[in-house]
């Protein structure tokens, strides 16, 4: 029933984000529902306040990393934090913090803490 | 003979999916044949019921992860579950469940169970 | 001399393949010369028989995995099987078999056999 | 407040870079603010002097590696050096030096020095 | 000064290569300067002799692997051989030889020889 609702037109408001030059297609409900107090949710609920810019195809311009945004968008879609091997967790954390997605940022901080031994202070993973 | 049939016009119904902003080109028969009771099969067999949205190029919009959908589409094409090193199995499982592809989800659960020692409860692989 | 011939117009017949949504540009001679008895060679030598479909840009539609097709096309270009770390050999084998490229499929089977210990029967690498 | 300012129209000057064939969308303020004395900052603050070329879509042409530019652009966006596993640090250093981003180049040199044992002089990581 | 010259219009001749379906944007001087006796340099200095074909966007068609060409183009840009983990060195060597870039091919042969123990004769890395 949930899956049916997600794809059957209950949200008619599709939009495309241009994150640093890569296009992501999603729905407004994905951006505003999971973490309604995030900056990202505010940006797409209160468009006029935020003055979001659009490119010539109508995609909303955001000057951030597309690579590290990808797992964040997946998290907003289904609530799971899912990351491939080799991706730098600090990159995802940086984007989670930028977009104000607090619960995800906290979850990432726990994962990062557990994945490094305490004596390792290297700036990159 | 099978390969010949697959490419010789026995299915004339090509379609493009826009999964989260990435385009996948396939045929309707690939989507509906392998697991006919899946939600994905229903979506493309009973289009009017599901009210699938299309983008300006005519590609069907689905608000999910393109990266984790890719092995699922390959599975529907040839029946094999084939995954590269480094991909997070939980990501593929999440999509298999969303699209209601039950046999693949079960197969993935077995692979995931066998790839983790029982004491490992980390949320990411 | 060989390289010169390859690029100086001795084959004027460029074509683009749309493999599962990704575009590959190559020449007809690449597709039909290296393994002339493969299904792929037949598809592009006897177009009318096979009834290949083209997309709106004129690219030939093939409903298969682009990722695992890439090393196959390189093999047809220069005769070497070259694979990056992390790619699943079974995925390349599946495509080699689908396109009926027998010598490559046999070479892949040897590589796969040598890369797995005999007691390992896992479905994914 | 900072994030709000970054997305609310305080910089209206979006631009696209065509780095070696891949498009990156960003703002002029990202390119000129973080390291104002870099060559990159000069190129986009003093356009007429530098005679930047644009492609047919209006993207600024730069004949360099897109892959190794990506972490540099992220650094200019948020000040963190964040790199995935497997990327060659010397590639990022080469681009940091080309664009004259001195603080980042120095940071990279430290990371490279610490990641190689002193007796290792191999040209590739 | 060098960087300035590279971007200030001293070479006005930008061109795009369509290597196997992927687009690379660069300048004629990059292709002909670093190794002037290579086949690639000849192809772009003596266009009429070579009869290079162009696609409908004006990109020069070359029927080779885009993935393994990428480090070669970077080498022509700045003279460094820089490779990420996991890339197959034999793939880059194959392209270096095809394009007749002799100094790079020799450098690659040394790296390959040093990276394999002498008793290892496997066709793939």
pLDDT of residue A111: 94
pLDDT of residue B121: 47
% pLDDT > 90, chain E: 71
Which of B77, E91, E82, B67 is closest to C71 using CA atoms? E91
Distances (CA, A) of C50 to A39, B3, C13, C60, E94: 54, 11, 18, 12, 33
Indicate yes or no: CB of B74 within 8 angstroms of CB of C65.
Answer: yes
CA gap B96, B90 in Å, rounded: 10
pLDDT of residue D92: 97
Mean pLDDT of D84-111: 96
* pLDDT over threshold 90, residue B92: yes
E23 touching C (Cβ < 8 Å): no
Which of E107, E104, E87, E88 is closest to E39 using CA atoms? E104
Mean pLDDT of D8-37: 87
Q: Give the pLDDT band of residue B12 (cuts 50, 70, 90).
A: low
pLDDT of residue A52: 84
E39 touching C (Cβ < 8 Å): yes
- Measured on CA atoms in the order D38, D40, D44, D50, is the torsion positive or negative? positive
Q: Report whether C36 contacts C81 (CB < 8 A).
A: no
* pLDDT over threshold 50, residue B47: yes
CA gap E90, B116 in Å, rounded: 34
CA gap B52, B61 in Å, rounded: 7
pLDDT of residue A2: 38
Which of B61, B56, B48, B50 is closest to B20 using CA atoms? B61
Q: Which of A118-122, B55-59, D77-81 has the lowest mean pLDDT?
A: A118-122
Q: Give the pLDDT band of residue C37 (cuts 50, 70, 90).
A: very high
pLDDT of residue D12: 61
DSSP state of D27: E
For chain B, what is the radius of gyration of the CA atoms? 16
- Sheet strands (E) in chain D: 14-19, 22-27, 60-62
Q: Give the pLDDT band of residue E66 (cuts 50, 70, 90).
A: very high
- Measured on CA atoms in the order D5, D8, D14, D16, is the torsion positive or negative? positive
Beta bridge partners of B62: B19
* pLDDT over threshold 70, residue E89: yes
Give me the domains of chain D, ranges plus CATH numbers: 2-115 (3.30.710.10)
Mean pLDDT of D57-82: 95
Q: What are phi and psi of C84, to 5 degrees?
A: -80, 160
Picking from C21, C23, C40, C93 by the largest number of B CB atoms within 10 A of its own CB, the best residue to mutate is C21
Distances (CA, A) of A79 to A103, A112, B74, D77, E50: 10, 19, 25, 27, 56
Q: Give the pLDDT band of residue A86 (cuts 50, 70, 90).
A: confident
% pLDDT > 70, chain A: 82
For chain E, what is the radius of gyration of the CA atoms? 16
Residue C113 tokens read as: 């056999």
CA gap B96, B73 in Å, rounded: 10
- How far is CA B107 from its chain centroid? 14
A115 touching D (Cβ < 8 Å): no
pLDDT of residue C16: 95
Q: Please list every residue in chain B whose beta carbon sits closer than 8 Å to the beta carbon of residue A70.
A: 65, 67
Q: Which of A40-49, A81-90, A98-107, B93-102 has the lowest mean pLDDT?
A: A40-49
* Pairing mode of beta strands B22-27, E14-19: unpaired
Instruction: Give the pLDDT confidence of A2-32 residue by residue, as tens digits.
Output: 333 344 344 469 999 999 999 999 999 999 9
Rounded to the nearest angstrom, the minimum Cα separation between B28 and chain C is 10
> How many Cβ atoms sit within 10 Å of the Cβ of residue A82?
23
CA gap E54, E62 in Å, rounded: 9
Q: Which of C5-14, E95-104, E108-117 has the lowest mean pLDDT?
A: C5-14
Placement of tokens 């990062």 in the chain: A112
Q: Which of B60-69, C7-16, D52-61 has the lowest mean pLDDT?
A: C7-16
Facing residue for B61 by CB, picked from A14, A83, A85: A14
pLDDT of residue E12: 60
Q: Give the pLDDT band of residue C12 (cuts 50, 70, 90).
A: low
pLDDT of residue B52: 84
Instruction: Give the pLDDT confidence of E4-36 residue by residue, as tens digits.
Output: 334 434 446 999 999 999 999 999 999 999 999
* pLDDT over threshold 70, residue E122: no
Mean pLDDT of E54-72: 94
Q: Which of B3-12, B55-64, C52-61, D12-21 has the lowest mean pLDDT?
A: B3-12
Q: Give the pLDDT band of residue E85 (cuts 50, 70, 90).
A: confident
- Greater model confidence, D61 or D7: D61
Beta bridge partners of A24: A17
Rounded to the nearest angstrom, the minimum Cα separation between B120 and chain C is 20
pLDDT of residue A26: 96
DSSP per residue over E13-39, as a string? -EEEEEETTEEEEEEHHHHHHSSTTSH
Q: Please list every residue in chain B whose beta carbon sits closer than 8 Å to the beta carbon of residue C85.
A: 85
- How far is CA A30 from its chain centroid? 10
Neighbours of C, requiring at least 3 CB pairs below 8 Å, are: B, E
């Amino acid at each position: 029933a949930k899956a049916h609702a997600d794809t059957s037109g209950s949200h008619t408001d599709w939009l495309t984000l241009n994150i640093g030059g890569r296009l992501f297609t999603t729905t407004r409900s994905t951006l505003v529902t999971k973490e309604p107090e995030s900056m990202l949710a505010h940006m797409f609920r209160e468009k006029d306040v935020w003055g979001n810019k659009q490119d010539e195809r109508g995609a909303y311009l955001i000057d951030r990393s597309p690579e590290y945004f990808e797992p964040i968008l997946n998290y907003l879609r289904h609530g799971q934090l899912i990351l491939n091997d080799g991706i730098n967790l600090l990159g995802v954390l940086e984007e989670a913090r930028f977009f104000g997605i607090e619960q995800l940022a906290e979850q990432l901080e726990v994962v990062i803490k557990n994945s490094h031994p305490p004596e390792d202070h290297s700036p990159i993973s």
